Amino acid sequence: MEALMPEPQIYVERTLAIIKPDAIGKEEEIEDLILRSGFHIIQKRKLQLSPEQCSNFYAEQFGKIFFPNLTAYMSSGPIVAMVLARNCAVSYWKELLGPSNSLRARISHPHSLRALYGTDELRNGLHGSLSISSAEKEIRFIFPEAILEPLPTGQRARDYLNLYVKPTLLAGLTALCKEKPAEPMIWLADWLIEHNPNKPKLQYRISQ
């Protein structure tokens, strides 16, 4: 009789969210709504893009009649970019955003973020990646140092802890008991960094 195989583990998906210049004043309020909607903010940075950078970011829109206005608008002031994570992050974030035209969103999706914080079709308050592939591309554009690997969950996470974390931590605590340093927490932190068997796969960083 064949052994039963566990169900494949669903990895935590990531998407890019941008608070656009017209909604930057509502940053804290929007972040609170994001967190209460089940997302984790993995990375965050506040920046201002140049018109050239905006043109590169929206390269797929090049040639459309609204393209010059779009790049001028997106480079007109600071933005807040965030990498959001949760299961089915791309689709959930698109649903939370609502239609791209804020005027239509107020009619069809009055509780969506674009209905609440956008002005019109161009100045719609927030950006969201359209697909998993575009999310990866956009995250690399805004966060070039980002590591886009699936976040382990369930059994995969437990296997990782048992294989790497627990043995290393046990060895560190044993060495700590033998050494008995004056500053045990600092000593242990330094020891773990020095004896890390695997480079960290996740980076949680907020940069300005």
Give tens-digit pLDDT for 89-104. 999 999 999 999 999 9
H helices of the chain, where? 27-36, 51-57, 67-74, 89-97, 102-108, 113-117, 132-142, 154-160, 166-179, 184-194
Q: What pLDDT, on the 0 to 100 scale, is given for residue 194?
A: 79
- In this predicted model, what pLDDT tens digit does every residue of 156-167 receive, in sequence order? 667 767 776 788
56, 141 Cβ separation under 8 angstroms? yes
Q: What pLDDT, on the 0 to 100 scale, is given for residue 148?
A: 58
Spans of the chain, pLDDT less than 50: 1-3, 5, 7-10, 198-208
Please tell me what DSSP assigns to residue 68.
H
| CATH 3.30.70.141 segments of the chain | 13-142
pTM to 2 decimals?
0.66
**Which one, of 90, 88, 113, 87, lies nearest residue 102 by Cα?**
113
Amino acid at 104: R
| CATH 1.20.890 segments of the chain | 159-207
Q: What pLDDT, on the 0 to 100 scale, is given for residue 12?
A: 72
Task: Report the alpha-carbon angle 118-113-123, nearest 5.
Answer: 20
**Which one, of 79, 81, 95, 80, lies nearest residue 38 by Cα?**
95
Q: What gap in Å lies between CA 34 and CA 29, rounded to an integer?
A: 9
Q: What is the mean pLDDT of the chain?
A: 84
Report whether CATH 3.30.365.10 matches the domain 13-142.
no
97, 113 Cβ separation under 8 angstroms? yes
Q: What gap in Å lies between CA 9 and CA 59, rounded to an integer?
A: 35
Q: What pLDDT, on the 0 to 100 scale, is given for residue 150?
A: 56
Q: What pLDDT, on the 0 to 100 scale, is given for residue 87?
A: 85
> Quick check: is 127 catalytic?
yes
Which candidate in 40, 109, 127, 195 is catalytic?
127
Can you tell me whether residue 42 is helix, strand or coil? strand
Report whether CATH 1.20.890 matches the domain 159-207.
yes
